[in-house]
Every structure is written in structure tokens, then in C-alpha cells.
Amino acid sequence: MSRVLLGVALVGASAALLRAQEAKTMLAMPPTPLLPESLRTGLDHDAGNGAPSWSGADAPILVEDGIKRYERGTAQSPVAHGAVPSGTVTVYQFDDATGAYAAYSYLKKSSADNVMLSGVSVVVSNLKLYPESAVALLKTVQVGLPKVGGTKGLPPLLPTYLPAQGLKRETVKYALGPVGYQAIGGVLPPEIIGFDKAAEVVTAKYEGKGTLTMLLFPTPQIAGDHGRQIEAEMNREGASAGTVKLRREGPLVLMTTGAWKPAEAQEIVENIHLRNEVTWNKPMPLEFHSEVRKTVSLLTSILLFCGLGALAAVVIALFLGGARAAIRVMQGKPAATEPEFLRIDLSGRPARIQPDRSGANPQG
């Protein structure tokens, strides 16, 4: 009988476990398409995660900038006997707006390139349509792109520090890693910039002048270390680097190179200042997290020590005070007593003698 009951119990437990597993089963919904339906019906439609296989030399840069997925579709132009392919539209989606901006600045190699930035996505188009039709199609694409909020949706602030006067906007390039920095033609060796410390860099050329390079680091200490390496490299290059003016302000490092006049170069680096709204939305380097953990651990230990010390003082006070009160009660005295003070009379008058009546005879 007991074996039958045990078997029934095991069957019931197995059924309950299966029901629990079925209850936890969740359907994985496919991601929303990056392109509208009209662009996903062509023969050349392609979509996937990471960098596409056909991206060639762009693939390492897209990966460095944090590409998540892509989708490419073919536009159709209506004709008398049907529709013919009229170019392609490609969308790259990245982890955050910072990576998207870096990829956008790389892919837009000239003002003639049809590259559009929208949040965390970059749209590259090659359309053979009438301008009105092309604009309408790209607006449809932009409306359907995924929207990301929070810090991931914030564009980088470093490019906004570039002075506008004389700026050649098509030369503004932003990089998050050594591969992208080399691809945009950076003037510094990538290994001394500190991309492994979460550095970001922007370069731009100015009309009739040279190149301005700005680097932003997580902390002023990291900026100081790499600023000294950059200074040593510029001293090594000498006159071949052009007019070099270098200045550091907190985590920001500024440098001019090329055909600047010394006064103009000095003025541009002196007039760029950090603003209070600077934020950092990229992962901090490991040593930065380590220092933060050490500081938090130290402060926690100090607070714990102070708390234990205060608690010990209260316990000791209660123990000593309670023991003293108990001894007085055992001696027949009140637990609490008023403190007795000694008084010294320095007036010079004879003190009045107080008779002691404690032993006086009431009969006498």
C-alpha cells in the first residue's frame, strides 16, 4: 500500500513540475523590422545581427561602434510593365546613439553621400528616384526606426564643443576605438590615445587652417596620463606636426596640428571649456570601477566601525550604571543620588557652626 501511495505522489509531483515549466514558457517575439514593407519585398532583401558579410572594410568599424543588427532593402520604381529596382536602402542599428554617431561620421565620407543619422540608427541610401520620391521614402523609413530612451538615446556631447567659426562640417569625425580612429585619418598613434580606458575623440578641420583634435576621458587622472604621452609624441614629431598647441582641462584634452597661425591655435584651445552638462554614458574602465569599489568599501568600514563603537559605548554605560544602581539598592540606599559638592568660602568671615543634632537627647 505504501508503494502505491509513493507512486501516486511521484506522479503528482511530476505533473506539477511539468505544469510549472509550461507556465514559465515565454514566446520570443522577433525584432521589429528596420525597413517598411515596401522595401522588404525585393530580391536583394537582407537582414541579420552584427555587421553584414558584404560590408567589407567597414565591418570592423561597425563592430567597434557596437552594431546590433542591420537590414537592406530594394526600392521599386513603377514602370509601364511592372516595377524595376531603383537602388537600395540600408539601416544599421547600434547599441546606443554614441556608437551610431561614430558610424555615421565614418560612413559619411563626403557631403554627397546619402547617409542619415536617426537616434541609434544610421540609414545609407543609394536611390535612383525622383528627389521628391526619395525624400518621401526616407521619411517613411525614419518614422519606422526604433526609438531608444534614457542614456543610450543621448548623442555624444564632445562634438558640440567644436567652435563653429570656420568649421568644415563635412570633416567632423568621431571615433570610439583605434580601428575607427585610423580610418578617419587621426593625427595621433591610436595606441597612446587610451581607447582601452573608454576615451572618445573628435577631429575637425578649419577653413584655411589646420586640424583640431579633442579627446575626452572618464577622469582627469586618465586624461593627465595620456596627455603627457601625447605631448611626448608631439615633441618627437617636431615641426612635421605643424603648429601644435596642447591644453588639458579636467578630463578634456585639446590639441591643434597643421597650418595654424600660433596666435589662432592658442586662441582656439584657450576658448574651449567644459560645460556642466557633460555626462558619460559609456562603460567606465575596469580600474575606474576598482577605485570606486575601494572607496565605497573604505567608507562602509568606517561607518560600521563608528556604529559598533557607539553601540559598545551604550552597552558599557548601561552595564556600569545598572551595576552601580543595583549595589546601592542592595545597601538600602536609593538607586539614584544627587551629586555632592564641596564649597570653599573665601570671604574671610567666620563660618557658622552647625550643631550636630543627630545624637542629641530629646529629654535634655
Quick one: pLDDT at residue 328? 73
Q: Is residue 73 part of a domain?
A: yes
Residue 56 covered by a domain: yes
204 in the same domain as 292: no
Contact 175, 200 (CB under 8 A): yes
Q: What does the block give as the cell for 313?
A: 559605548
Q: Are residues 88 and 165 in the same domain?
A: no
Q: What is the pTM of this model?
A: 0.68
How many domains would you assign to the chain? 3
What is the DSSP annotation of 22-79?
A: HHH----PPPPPSS-GGGSSSTT-EEEESS-GGGGGGHHHHHHTTEEEEEEEEEEEEE
Q: How many helices (H) does the chain have, and how many strands (E)?
A: 8, 10
Domain membership flag for residue 81: yes
**φ, ψ of residue 280 in degrees (nearest 5):** -125, 115
Same domain? 40 vs 102:
yes
Tell me which residues of the chain have a pLDDT lower than 50.
Answer: 1-11, 80-82, 358, 362-364
Judgement on whether residues 120 and 131 belong to the same structural domain of the protein: yes
347 in a domain, yes or no?
no
Write out pLDDT tens, residues 184-230: 999 999 999 999 999 999 999 999 899 999 999 999 999 999 999 99
The predicted-structure confidence for 55-102, as pLDDT tens digits, reads as follows 999 999 999 999 999 999 988 776 544 456 688 999 999 999 999 999
Among 263, 284, 305, the domain boundary falls at 284
Q: Are residues 273 and 308 in the same domain?
A: no
pLDDT of residue 296: 83
**Domain co-membership, 290 together with 275:** no
Residues 180, 207 within the same domain: yes
160 and 150 within one domain: no
Assigned domain for 16 exists: no
**Full residue range of the structural domain in which residue 250 is found:** 156-284
Assess whether 279 and 162 both reside in one domain.
yes
Residue 47 included in any domain: yes
57 falls within a domain: yes
* Same domain assignment for residues 75 and 58: yes
Confidence at residue 131, expressed as pLDDT on a 0 to 100 scale? 85
239 belongs to a structural domain: yes
Q: Are residues 150 and 174 in the same domain?
A: no
Last residue within a domain, chosen from 125, 154, 183: 154
Give pairs for 155-160: CB < 8 Å, separation 24+: 155/97, 155/98, 155/101, 156/97, 156/98, 156/101, 156/102, 156/200, 156/202, 157/275, 157/277, 157/278, 157/279, 158/200, 158/201, 158/202, 158/214, 158/216, 159/101, 159/202
Choosing from 221, 249, 284, the residue where a domain stops is: 284
Q: Which letter does DSSP use for residue 155 in this model?
A: P
Shared domain for 181 and 65, answered yes or no, is no
